[in-house]
Amino acid sequence: MATLTTLTELQVIALSEARQEPSWLLERRLEAYKAFVDLEWPDNRVEEWRYTDPRRLDLTRPLVDGGDIAAQAPAQGVVISDLATAARTHEAVVRDALGSAVDLGRKFAAGNLAAFTEGLFVHVPAEVELDEPIRVTVEAAADGALLPRVLVVLGAHAKATVLLDHVGDADATVVEVVEAVLREGARLQLVTTQHWGPRVDHLGAHTGRVGANADYRHFEATLGGKTVYLTPDVELAEPGGNAELLGVYLTDDGRHVEHRSLIHHDASNTTSDSIYKGALQGDSFASWYGNIRIERHAKATASDETNRNLILGAGARASSIPFLEILCSDVVRCGHHSSVGQMDELQLFYLESRGIPREAAVRMLVFGFFKEVTDRVGVPAVADGVLAELSRAIEGSYP
Amino acid sequence: MSTTKAEDLQLGSYKYGWHDESKSVFEPKRGLSSDVVEEISALKSEPRWMRDVRLKAFKQFQARPMPNWGSDLSGIDFDEIFYFVRSTEKQANSWDELPAEIKNTYDRLGIPEAEKQRLISGVAAQYESEVVYHKVREDLEAEGVIFLDTDTALREHEDLFREHFMKVIPSNDNKLAALNTAVWSGGSFIWIPEGVKVDVPLQAYFRINKENMGQFERTLIIAEPGSYVHYVEGCTAPIYSSDSLHSAVVEIIAKPGSRVRYTTIQNWSNNVYNLVTKRAAAYEDATMEWIDGNIGSKVTMKYPSVHLMGRGARGEVLSVAFAGDGQHQDAGAKMVHHAPDTSSSIVSKSVSQGTGRTSYRGQVAIHEGAHRVRNSTVCDALLLDEHARSDTYPYMEIAEQDAQISHEASVSKIGEEQLFYLRSRGVEEFEAMAMIVRGFIEPISKELPMEYSVELNRLISLNMEGSVG
């Protein structure tokens, strides 16, 4: 039985053959496999894994052959198919985009490309503007290791919203890669929610590659899972691109959550804005790391980064690490803001003095805390749902 | 604004870049071995325990890897360095007793003026490895204040010294601290008796005069309960073609209710690797303040820290860094909260010019049991040239739920509108830029003693020359 730690070249070939993939895709897998074996297994002595010891992840679980990615699409010429099929039917687009946002520099990303068990391809052709969202669900239904891979490509001036939900309650380790490739002037909103059961470990690399004057918004609601390590990155590779990274997270007893993002300004006139807010309760840990890197040639950039942590219970630990690496002096504005604090007792007092029960007052304040982020999600149904889940989850956790 | 030219005036404007003919009384060979360590100890006629400490630290130095983060340190060749150079037979008691070259060096640094005016309560001057001149105001001596060079302190106050030495920074703390512990020489030793408040700053100057010279001074400040002291150090080195290493260790113990302020204006020339470990322990209701100015050196890696050990302790770091062509100032601060009701603040201002790079690297850690901690960190960076670089690397690690931590950072270039405003009022472009930079660092420069504040502004203006074309 194949596992990530014992993966062999023959197993990679077998995976590809079973899916009747074209030879170019097998070559890609083998190239990724080579990178995978050449890269060291990371440990917590390297910066990226300083706060999440990779040993927390159970990597010995057998690969589940053919996990579950389900997708629904509206019409209008949108292509939604599994990656193996798309590799034949839309070879040019897939060849060009696959691996262009998440490269092989990281061990787990290389492992995913070598051995992804389930792949999904979403293509919104140029000029097509979708009103209805595309719904994608990744499910961890069976025990084991799951390697899902999602590739979303938006043609020039296309517009779409993709809702990516994660569900499942198995003993699972999910090593996921989501690549979003936006061509010139495209607008993509990628709204991800994560509803794992308490035994799921999740390693997720989500990267948006943003074309000229394109607009990318990534939202993340991290609500479940045991050990969760997510890297929502953005590559602003062409002039005029704009990115927004939004996130809310909630921890409780026994959970370990890390968000780690790089916003790479690699072209002029690019803008980015990032805001992550989390509430921590029980014996849990949450780490947020954000790096904004502005290259020498990326003139007239503007960037802003915010992380706020609300600690609701004893035993919760937080770390917040906002980096800036600015190699170009021609910045319009660049800054970051980070804080760790508690519920404002003065605000609680004010609400209680007006006859609102303490529990309702706490709920209102937490609601307000997160609403600043969810208000920016352009899908009210999802935003309201996430807010409701958050306020339900913290009920009774604050005395 | 134009790019800084390659023939930037940086070197030319480094006004401390002369060197005297170095006449060393004793000169061991380059490179380091346990024999050299023993020789240093023997020359100083040290007690056996100190020799053992040095030898153990030397082993730790060899075993530890070089730091692989921060700056590029591959240019340091430990085998090329002179680890100990003695430049005069014995310490002078008055200025006139000093050898002419050394006196000449320090005259140019402006020490006698300061001494004559009695503005400064005590002055120590270190040339190469050892302190060559030392003077403490008589009334402070009468109050029991000890302000000596560290070698003399070890001889004259061995028990006091041994009780506090290496208690804040163990020899194996990091590779450079181990190196310092193995070969340390000179530095200041200060002991302030209980309740004594020293009303004027104590001062020291450090100067490297020899090529490939390593300077490893060791400073230890002990403030007994309720006392106050402000210590000021300035550092300069002439310019040589090959690199020098300055690797000091500074330990400060602020006992309950005391207050210690430590001010550094580092102006090493652009071939010095300045890798310094500075740490203070602040006990109950004590206040520790670091004011850290980094103008010179090729590479500086320095993160003054405060370990807040007792309830109600307070820590503060004011850091200002200026990096010109080819310089990397990797500076910052660490606040480690071990006790409840402690608070700290960090203010960092950095300016990058030409191809200079400034990095703020900081850590705020709240350990378990440290309840109701407050911290505020503000980092601002100003970029003067197209190829200048600024980084911010703050770490916040919080293990208690009732902490209140905030961090704000901003990076900006010089505002075209500000420049236009000043120029429209007849201010030349260079002076306008210098004014803006002075305004930018003002929150820190105003905390300095007046003559240092003036010097800081002047040094930055000198370093900025040539950046406007």
Q: Exposed, middle or buried, B361 (CB in 10 Å: 0-12/13-18/19+)? A: buried
Instruction: At B442, list the tokens.
Output: 């003002």
Residue B402, chain A, CB below 8 Å: the answer is yes
Of A71-75, B318-322, B404-408, minimum mean pLDDT range = A71-75
Residue range B272-299: average pLDDT? Answer: 95
DSSP B321-370: EEE-TT-EEEEEEEEEE-STT-EEEEEEEEEE-TT-EEEEEEEEEE-TT-
Chain B interface test: which of A340, A345, A398 (most B C-beta within 10 Å) = A340
DSSP-derived secondary structure letter, B3: P
Alpha-carbon distance of A141 to B58, in angstroms, equals: 58
Angle between helices B34-43 and B175-183 (to 10 degrees): 50
Alpha-carbon distance of B227 to B395, in angstroms, equals: 32
Inter-CA distances, A82 with A21, A69, A77, A114, B238, Å = 11, 9, 16, 16, 68
Q: What contacts B248, CB < 8 A, 6 or more positions away?
A: B180, B187, B206, B215, B216, B217, B218, B219, B276, B277, B278
**A205 to chain B nearest CA, in Å?**
23
For residue B11, the model assigns a pLDDT of: 36
Whether the Cβ atoms of residue B236 and residue B459 lie closer than 8 Å to each other: no
Alpha-carbon distance of B398 to B410, in angstroms, equals: 23
Instruction: At A314, list the tokens.
Output: 């004893």
**A52 to chain B nearest CA, in Å?**
13
For residue A393, the model assigns a pLDDT of: 84
The overall longest dimension of chain A from CA atoms, in Å, is 70
Residue range B100-122: average pLDDT? Answer: 57
Chain A interface test: which of B371, B372, B401 (most A C-beta within 10 Å) = B401
Instruction: At B406, list the tokens.
Output: 């905030």
| Chain B residue numbers touching A314 (CB-CB < 8 A) | 401
Q: Residue window 318-337, chain A: list those with CB within 8 Å of chain B.
A: 318-331, 333-337
Alpha-carbon distance of B377 to B379, in angstroms, equals: 7
Confidence of residue B210 (pLDDT cuts 50, 70, 90): low
For residue B7, the model assigns a pLDDT of: 37
Confidence of residue B110 (pLDDT cuts 50, 70, 90): low
For residue B118, the model assigns a pLDDT of: 43
Whether B25 shows a pLDDT value over 80: the answer reads no
Which pLDDT tens digit goes with each residue over A230-280?
999 999 999 999 999 999 999 999 999 999 999 999 999 999 999 999 999
Residue range B130-152: average pLDDT? Answer: 81
> What residue spans of A80-161 are helical by DSSP H?
83-89, 91-97, 107-115
Query: If residue A197 lies in a helix (H) or strand (E), which one and from where to where?
Result: none
Which pLDDT tens digit goes with each residue over B402-428?
999 999 999 888 888 888 899 999 998
Report the amino acid identity of residue A143.
D
Confidence of residue B31 (pLDDT cuts 50, 70, 90): confident
Whether B90 shows a pLDDT value over 80: the answer reads no
For residue A333, the model assigns a pLDDT of: 83
Which pLDDT tens digit goes with each residue over A30-70?
999 999 999 999 998 888 999 999 999 988 898 887 656 77
Match 């490269």 to its residue by tokens. A103
For residue A239, the model assigns a pLDDT of: 97
**B398 to chain A nearest CA, in Å?**
5
Phi, psi of B96 (to 5 degrees): -70, -20
Closest CB to A326 among B389, B402, B408: B389
Q: Residue window 62-81, chain B: list those with CB within 8 Å of chain A.
A: 69
Alpha-carbon distance of A246 to A248, in angstroms, equals: 7
Instruction: At B228, list the tokens.
Output: 């106050």
For residue B247, the model assigns a pLDDT of: 93
SS (H, E, C) B90-136: CCECCHHHCCHHHHHHHHHHCHHHHHHHCCCCEEEEEECCEEEEEEE
CA B117, chain centre distance (Å)? 25
Closest CB to B413 among A47, A331, A340: A331
Residue range B68-86: average pLDDT? Answer: 86
Of A129-133, B190-194, B244-248, B456-460, minimum mean pLDDT range = B456-460
Phi, psi of A75 (to 5 degrees): -80, -125
Of B151-155, B269-273, B456-460, minimum mean pLDDT range = B456-460
Q: What contacts B124, CB < 8 A, 6 or more positions away?
A: B131, B133, B134, B135, B147, B148, B149, B188, B203, B204, B205
Instruction: At B128, list the tokens.
Output: 């190469």
Closest-CA residue to B460 (of B435, B426, B428):
B435
Alpha-carbon distance of A397 to A280, in angstroms, equals: 10
Average pLDDT, chain B: 85
Complex prediction ipTM = 0.85
Closest CB to B392 among A320, A323, A333: A323
For residue B6, the model assigns a pLDDT of: 36
Report the amino acid identity of residue B324.
G
Q: What contacts A272, CB < 8 A, 6 or more positions away?
A: A234, A236, A242, A243, A244, A245, A263, A265, A292, A301, A302, A303, A304
Residue-wise burial string across A220-250, b where 16 or more C-beta atoms lie within 10 A, e elsewhere? bbbbbbbbbbbbbbbbbbbbbbbbbbbbbbb
Of A309-313, B288-292, B356-360, minimum mean pLDDT range = A309-313
Which pLDDT tens digit goes with each residue over A92-117?
999 999 999 998 889 999 999 999 98
Q: Residue window 120-149, chain B: list those with CB within 8 Å of chain A.
A: none
Q: What contacts B231, CB < 8 A, 6 or more positions away?
A: B188, B190, B201, B202, B203, B204, B221, B260, B261, B262, B263
> What residue spans of B137-202 are helical by DSSP H?
138-142, 150-156, 158-164, 175-183
Closest CB to A329 among B386, B395, B406: B386
Closest Cα in chain B to A51: B397
Q: Are strands B259-267 and B287-294 parallel, antiparallel or unpaired?
A: parallel
Alpha-carbon distance of A98 to A93, in angstroms, equals: 8
Domain ranges of chain B: 10-302, 418-469
For residue A89, the model assigns a pLDDT of: 93
Confidence of residue B299 (pLDDT cuts 50, 70, 90): very high
Alpha-carbon distance of B317 to B346, in angstroms, equals: 5
| Chain B residue numbers touching A300 (CB-CB < 8 A) | none
For residue B266, the model assigns a pLDDT of: 85
Greater confidence (A292 vs A131) lies with A292
Q: How many helices (H) and strands (E) does chain A have?
A: 8, 19
**B237 to chain A nearest CA, in Å?**
29
Query: If residue B429 lies in a helix (H) or strand (E), which one and from where to where?
Result: helix B429-445
For residue A163, the model assigns a pLDDT of: 95
Average pLDDT, chain A: 92
Cα angle value A363/A368/A372 (rounded, 5°)? 150
pTM of the predicted model as reported, rounded to 2 decimal places: 0.87
- Binary contact (B401, A334; C-beta < 8 A): no
Whether the Cβ atoms of residue B123 and residue B117 lie closer than 8 Å to each other: no
Angle between helices A107-115 and A9-18 (to 10 degrees): 50
For residue B381, the model assigns a pLDDT of: 94
Alpha-carbon distance of B35 to B83, in angstroms, equals: 12
Residue A297, chain B, CB below 8 Å: the answer is no
DSSP B61-94: HHHSPPP-SSS--TT--GGG-B---B-SSS-BSS
Whether B309 shows a pLDDT value over 50: the answer reads yes
- Binary contact (B398, A319; C-beta < 8 A): yes
Q: How big is chain A, counted in residues? A: 399
Confidence of residue B469 (pLDDT cuts 50, 70, 90): very low
